[in-house]
Structure 1
Amino acid sequence: MESSSPWKRFKEKVKVIGPGAIIAASFIGPGTVSTATEAGASFGYSLIWAIVFSVITTMFLQEMASRLGIVTGSGLGEAIRGQFERPVFKFGAVILIGFSVGMGCAAYMAGDLTGGALGVSLLTGIPQNYIAPVIGVVILILGLTGTYKRFEKILIGLVIVMSITFITTMLIVQPNLSEVFKGAFVPAIPDGSIVVIVALIGTTVVPYNLFMHASSAHERWKNPADIKKARMDILITIGVGGLITAAVIITAGTVVRGSDAAGIEALALALEPTLGEWASGFISIGMLAAGLSSAMASPLGAAYTIGGLTKWGTGFDNWKFKLIFSIIIGIGIVTSAIGFEPMQLILTAQALNGLILPIVAIFLLIVVNNKNAMGKYVNTAKLNIIGGIIVLIVGGLGIYSLVDAVSAFVNMV
């Protein structure tokens, strides 16, 4: 019995994994992999600290969201509506947040599907705009016929696949560990890196994930005594998610640093001397898993956010919830099929999401300090201080994202 106790403890810890894995699957998409590859290729290991910061920030915000869902039995959208008595403020918040999140999810869908299709295209040579709609239709069918538990299991599986492929690849290339730890814990901002830093943080700390986590947490756990399980879930899954992103930076920083061609295809090519014929396979599987996970999570996040804000409902048994899911994934299917790259829309969505994150974070801080709703589970003073610092930082990043998006839009015109 004693020899089996460590294994039993391990299994108990694994059992808590659930809603946090959905969040990790959400932020590890093709955009994250591409940005991490660019970060490693251009700046080596020096920007790993941005992922460390992003992961810590995400853990704090997601803990508040999950605690809110477990204690109140409702989502963040419902909680935000309940904070306002005057209709003008209530509906103003609903329209602002719902529009921004919905537009952002729709704008990124084509990229998620196309990114996932790239993984298959690298191996088969089939054009991405043929594969992407098929992936989208599969996800649509899963959404219309599935349940929360099925989605949770699939996304946990995809996180495991990404962990195996990207982390194994990192270990095989044998990076310089002293430089890796320096990059992780000694912040540096090399010339020309600020845009990449903002992108790394922006792809990890995502507004709609807060809505999705609050709703999925109260679907998984019904008793405030389960908050400890939710925290363990967050530590494990968000930590693994950050490790996956860091692994891509480290791999790229090891094998393609300084290369003019720094895309996913270049990374696969550079790995061939080390991995041989397995190089393309590893990268392809990782990209397909990243595309699938993000493409499943984006419409799910939009449905949870808009469904909660409008009181339409946030369950898989609700037809309005499924309608929102279907509209978002449908946009991705159409745009990926015709090869449309909605750059202006994506730039606008990036700016809106960058600005909406501090607003959502402020609302989250307000509702988790509401004693009528949270009782003894309100934020501590320490958490409020940390939350305030996070709001200031993401607010600054949001303003920078807006300026950057406007500049890019002007240059395109």
Structure 2
Amino acid sequence: MLTRPEAPPPAPARSDLSLAEMHGSVRIPDAAGWTRRLGAFIGPGYLIAVGYMDPGNWATALAGGSAFGYTLLSVALASSLMAMLLQALCARIGIATGRDLAQLCRDRFPKPVNFVLWALAEVAICATDLAELIGTAIALNLLFGIPLLAGVVLTALDALLILWLQHRGVRWLEALVAGLMFLVFGCFATQLVLAQPDWAAVLGGYLPQASILTNENQLYIAIGILGATVMPHNLYLHTAVVQSRAYGEDREAKREAIRFATIDSSVALTLALLVNSAILITAAAVFHAGGRTEVAEIQEAYELLTPMVGTTMAATLFAVALLACGLNATVTATLAGQVVMEGFLGLRLSPVLRRLVTRLVAIVPAVVITWLYGESGTAQLLVFSQVVLCLQLPFAVVPLMLFAGDRLRLGPHAAPRWQVVVGWASTVVIVALNLKLLWGIIAE
């Protein structure tokens, strides 16, 4: 049974703050104009957005674009719109309560339920880390010729970069992430110019297609895209990182913070949508249009880009963007792992140990698959990791929606009715797609 408190909980003690080392560390300028105050809130959205364009997205977008042309662009759009709403709700509850989603679950749910939610969140983070690890190793192989297995092991060293940036402050993290995101966007903007897609067909691809629900292959990739776009661990992370702003405790200050944080995440996720769309459009314009409808391996896509587009620049930009995405996404996996473990269990580990634990769990299956199957197994593993993420989504989205509409806990900052209705509708769609996928697997 779920329990409800009789009154909103008191403000958390300093030792129980979410991401305590960065909590309230970014000052909001007083007596400044709207633009400067908004600028102080720009950043957390980009930490979240990198999870929506990590290497796992590449596998699903490449597979979907090469096999089905522009058809699955509608899934990318719908997934991004869901993500914008859900992340806006995350910012709302984080700012309104001063607690992250994992902490709220620990406050409200019985211990057995809390433990199950924690375990599922850890599985989602490991699946995310697995995709990032393999994607980064592939990029190192394509750019520098480093063997895939060695690249998988080398990616564990990114812990040093993350720890250094965390020591410098949250603004340094945000600046690096935003810079790499715009680098990726520039790479794919150039790719689109080189690929010369059919823009009329691109626009048509954003319209929903009935074949997505009736074709099992399309549905599998569609669910992978959904899993790669709406990231379970990001729902926990966003509720924590928005608290890095020193926005004040009064009603009007929190209202303004919610508004600015929503703008921040929505703009950043729009950029992520453009990148994801560009990957799928490139695959459709180059591979599907060229009769190569089974391109799913990132390495195969890299090798085919030069002869099919006619310039080596296309392949180089592809690999550079992949490396930037992989490095970028490690930031969110690290921070999300910290939020989930501290929030659900109240267990605080050193950043070094937390990173090593997360990497160890992800690196074992990656090393095994790479050792046994080499490059041929990486695409299937990447797509499968995204489907795993989608299967975990309901266990993060349902608690989020329970808190978003809780007027007792959020008070005047509870989500408007329309957001609650659309949020629950999105949850129903997610659960229904998961059930259809599982039924298809069982029926086989």
TM-score range, shorter chain: 0.7 to 0.9
1:141-290 paired onto structure 2 within 5 Å? 141-147=160-166, 148-189=170-211, 191=215, 192-220=217-245, 222-223=247-248, 224=254, 225-257=256-288, 258-262=291-295, 263-272=297-306, 274=309, 276-290=311-325
**Cα drift, residue 369 of structure 1:** 2.3
Q: How far apart, in 1, do the equivalents of 2:387 and 2:203 lie?
A: 32
Q: How far apart, in 1, do the equivalents of 2:279 and 2:365 lie?
A: 28
Residue 402 of structure 2 corresponds to residue 366 of structure 1: yes
**Cα drift, residue 328 of structure 1:** 0.2
Matched residue pairs, number? Answer: 390
Amino acid at match of 2:260: K
Q: CA 1:39–1:10 in 2, change beyond 3 Å: closer, same or farther?
A: farther
User: Which residue of 391, 403, 412 corresponds with 1:376?
Assistant: 412
Q: How far apart, in 2, do the equivalents of 1:269 and 1:11 lie?
A: 46
**3-state secondary structure, aligned to 1:175:** coil
**3-state secondary structure, aligned to 1:45:** coil
| Matching residue of 2:113 | 93
Amino acid at match of 1:132: V
Contact 1:55 1:239 in 2 (8 A): yes
Cα shift readout 1:190-240 (whole Å, capped 9, x = no counterpart) = 543111111111111111110000001111353412222111111211111
Q: How far apart, in 1, do the equivalents of 2:35 and 2:141 lie?
A: 38
Amino acid at match of 1:264: I
Q: How far apart, in 1, do the equivalents of 2:77 and 2:218 lie?
A: 16
Contact 1:75 1:211 in 2 (8 A): yes
Contact 2:143 2:320 in 1 (8 A): no
Identity between Structure 1 and Structure 2 (%): 23
| Matching residue of 1:4 | none
Q: CA 1:398–1:186 in 2, change beyond 3 Å: closer, same or farther?
A: closer
Q: How far apart, in 2, do the equivalents of 1:238 and 1:103 lie?
A: 24
User: Which residue of 330, 348, 357 corresponds with 1:327?
Assistant: 357
Amino acid at match of 2:275: I
Greater Cα shift, 102-111 or 330-339: 330-339
TM, length-normalised to structure 2 = 0.79
Q: CA 1:230–1:333 in 2, change beyond 3 Å: closer, same or farther?
A: same
Q: How far apart, in 2, do the equivalents of 1:136 and 1:96 lie?
A: 28
Contact 2:100 2:343 in 1 (8 A): yes
Cα shift readout 1:50-79 (whole Å, capped 9, x = no counterpart) = 000000000111001111111222211111
Greater Cα shift, 395-404 or 274-283: 395-404
Cα shift readout 1:280-317 (whole Å, capped 9, x = no counterpart) = 2111101111222233322322221221112335xxxx
Amino acid at match of 2:319: S
TM, length-normalised to structure 1 = 0.85
Q: How far apart, in 2, do the equivalents of 1:160 and 1:10 lie?
A: 21
Residue 95 of structure 2 corresponds to residue 65 of structure 1: no
Q: CA 1:9–1:217 in 2, change beyond 3 Å: closer, same or farther?
A: closer
| Matching residue of 1:387 | 423
Q: CA 1:270–1:107 in 2, change beyond 3 Å: closer, same or farther?
A: closer
Q: How far apart, in 1, do the equivalents of 2:50 and 2:352 lie?
A: 20
Q: How far apart, in 2, do the equivalents of 1:331 and 1:351 lie?
A: 18
When the two chains are superposed, the root-mean-square deviation of aligned CA atoms in Å is 2.9
**Cα drift, residue 351 of structure 1:** 6.8
Q: CA 1:91–1:348 in 2, change beyond 3 Å: closer, same or farther?
A: farther
**3-state secondary structure, aligned to 2:196:** coil
Greater Cα shift, 120-129 or 333-342: 333-342
| Matching residue of 1:5 | none
User: Which residue of 111, 129, 132 corresponds with 1:109?
Assistant: 129
**Cα drift, residue 129 of structure 1:** 1.5
**3-state secondary structure, aligned to 1:256:** helix
Q: How far apart, in 2, do the equivalents of 1:153 and 1:341 lie?
A: 39
Greater Cα shift, 301-310 or 204-213: 301-310
- Residue segments in structure 1 that go unaligned for 5+ positions in a row: 1-7, 85-89, 314-318
Q: How far apart, in 2, do the equivalents of 1:55 and 1:78 lie?
A: 26
- Residue segments in structure 2 that go unaligned for 5+ positions in a row: 1-32, 249-253
Contact 1:130 1:337 in 2 (8 A): no
Q: CA 1:119–1:349 in 2, change beyond 3 Å: closer, same or farther?
A: closer
1:352-363 paired onto structure 2 within 5 Å? 353-363=389-399
**Cα drift, residue 29 of structure 1:** 1.6
Amino acid at match of 1:298: A
Contact 1:83 1:367 in 2 (8 A): no
User: Which residue of 340, 343, 346 corresponds with 1:305?
Assistant: 340
**Cα drift, residue 350 of structure 1:** 6.3
Q: CA 1:259–1:14 in 2, change beyond 3 Å: closer, same or farther?
A: farther
Residue 108 of structure 2 corresponds to residue 83 of structure 1: yes
Contact 2:404 2:414 in 1 (8 A): yes
